Amino acid sequence: MFLSKYYLEPGSGIRFSREQASGFAKQIAGDFNPLHDPDNKMFCVPGDLLFSVALAKLGLSQKMRFTFSGMVNDETTLLFHPDGTELVEARDHEGKVYLSIQRSGETSVDEDAICSLARSYVEFSGRTFPHILVPLMQQEDVMINPARPLVIYESMEIDLDHLAITQPELELTETSLEVNGKKSRARLGFCLKQGGEIIGSGTKYMALRGLRPYNQEAIDKIVHDYMQRREQ
- Pick 196 or 12 by higher pLDDT: 196
Per DSSP, the three-state class of 35 is helix
**pLDDT tens string 100-115:** 999 999 999 999 999 9
- The pLDDT-based confidence of 158 (bands split at 50, 70, 90) is very high
Q: Hey, what amino acid is at 155? A: S
**pLDDT tens string 18-53:** 999 999 999 999 888 888 999 999 899 999 999 999
Nearest one of 14, 68, 63, 77 to 46, comparing CA atoms: 68
Torsion sign over Cα 51, 57, 60, 65: negative
| Range(s) of the domain holding residue 159 | 2-231
Torsion sign over Cα 195, 196, 197, 201: positive
Q: Where does residue 5 rank: exposed (0-12), middle (13-18), buried (19+ CB within 10 A)?
A: exposed
CATH number, domain at 200?
A: 2.40.160
Domain count, the chain: 1
